[in-house]
Amino acid sequence: MIKVSIISSGEIVNGLEVKGHANFAEHGKDLVCAGVSCIITGGFNALNKEDIEEITLEEGYAKVIVNPESKSVDVINVILIQLQTIQESYPKFIKIK
Q: Give me the active site residues, please.
A: 21, 33
Question: In angstroms, how far apart are the furthest CA atoms of the chain?
Answer: 41
Integer Cα distance of 79 and 63 in angstroms: 12
Nearest of 86, 48, 85 to residue 69 by alpha carbon: 48
- Under 8 Å CB-to-CB from 82, ≥6 apart: which residues? 39, 43
First to last CA, the chain: 13
